[in-house]
Copies of this chain bind each other. A is one copy, B any other.
Amino acid sequence: MITLGEVAATAGASLRGGDAATVITGVAPLPSAESGQLSFLINPRYRRFLTVTRAAAVILSPKDAEGCPIPAVVAANPHVAYARVATLFEPPVAVAHAGIHPTAWASPTAQIAADAWIGPHCTVEAGAAIERGAFVGPGCVIGEQAILGVETRLVARVTVCHRVRLGRRVLVHPGAVIGGDGFGLALDQGGRWLKVPQLGSVLIGDDVEIGANTTIDRGALEDTVIEEGVKLDNQVQIGHNVRIGAHSALAGCVGVAGSARIGRHCMLGGGVGIAGHLEIADHVHITGMSLVAQSITQPGVYSSGLTVEPNRLWNKISARLRRLDEMFRRLAALEKKIGRDGAA
């Protein structure tokens, strides 16, 4: 049973106009919250629902709290406060997990902490180390000499290849593959591709989150490195030898080609592509579906995505675009002529 006082304490927030003993039964958006539920105001477009919501209380900023008609949990950063409070309402884990499920297979040379969990149908290869409190959900494969740090959690069906090292509290969603071979190929005389052995590995820092079906390739010689606190969404592809700086966030379907270096605190929107062998400074924000083909040395927001128009108009634009160089030359010719005319 969670009380409003407990909510405020968890949020590190102050309670205004409510009874700390009020029981809170859940969380919900302002328009759909029922009595007893807690809500939050982060998106300003929802402010209008404050006067009509049935919520028992609302998390909001000091500014929005002025004149708020219901009990308020006032926090400087309501989004962070909400993130903390919401953990109180996560469904409890059904059973305590520790040990090795009878259907799992672990090499006798793997080192598995006593309080770690190896779920059904997992494979843990020779020399792997599963540290204290780690959770390996059903169907995961942990390769030879791989290391899963303390309290790391693989939800299900994750592949961690040989010698890959995950830090502490890493969270990996289903279908992710960490440490597959990089795309290293040499072209021989006959135009055939010769595979370049991928001898490096992958190093994942503490508190990294890796989305569903995301892939991170092992380095060709040295390691691919994902620094602490990085968040990768689903279906992100990270090439070999890449380094991603701490606390950067990459949205869904981003692709980063080999040997690119991305700074700290960067944000890449969905579908962004980063070419290989370049550097991106700290605090760079790339908007969705943009292509970065050269290094970026200054923090800031960068874009190259084009948004839709009605197809008929777009076809015209697109056809004109093909003649853009001609157009420039025609414009310059005109300027030259006018100059002459003007002088006449």
Contact = CB atoms under 8 A, between A and B. Distances in A.
B292 A91 contact: no
Interface residues of A, number: 134
Interface of A: 27-29, 32, 77, 79-80, 82-84, 86-87, 89-91, 94-95, 101-103, 105, 119-121, 123, 125-127, 137-139, 141, 143-144, 155-157, 159, 161-163, 171, 173-175, 177, 180-181, 183-189, 191-197, 199, 209, 211-213, 215, 217, 221-222, 229, 231, 233-235, 237, 239, 247, 249, 251-253, 255, 257, 265, 270-271, 273, 275, 286-294, 296, 300-311, 313-318, 320-325, 327-328, 330-331, 334-335, 337-338, 341-342
B183 A251 contact: yes
Contacts of A157: 139, 141, 157, 159, 177
Given A193-B229, A213-B175, A305 B325 contact: no
Question: Which 4 A/B pairs are nearest by Cβ-Cβ distance?
Answer: A123-B138, A180-B212, A301-B311, A79-B186
13 contacts: A77-B189, A80-B188, A80-B194, A82-B186, A139-B139, A143-B156, A235-B255, A253-B253, A294-B307, A309-B322, A331-B331, A334-B334, A338-B341
A295 to B, nearest CB: 11
Nearest to A300: B310
A190 to B, nearest CB: 8
Given A215-B211, A234-B237, A80 B186 contact: yes
A143 B156 CA distance: 9
B231 A257 contact: no
B188 A77 contact: yes
Nearest to A305: B291
Given A270-B257, A291-B289, A331-B330, A310 B301 contact: yes
Contact of A302 (B294, B308, B316, B328): B308
Interface hub of A102, A175, A330, A335 (most chain B Cβ within 10 A): A175
A199 B28 CA distance: 10
A167 to B, nearest CB: 15
A274 to B, nearest CB: 9
A159 B175 contact: yes
Given A308-B291, A320-B325, A324-B317, A213 B211 contact: no
Nearest to A337: B338
B94 A120 contact: no
B252 A239 contact: yes
Nearest to A284: B308
A324 B325 contact: no
Contacts of A300: 310-311
Contact of A27 (B221, B265, B327): B221
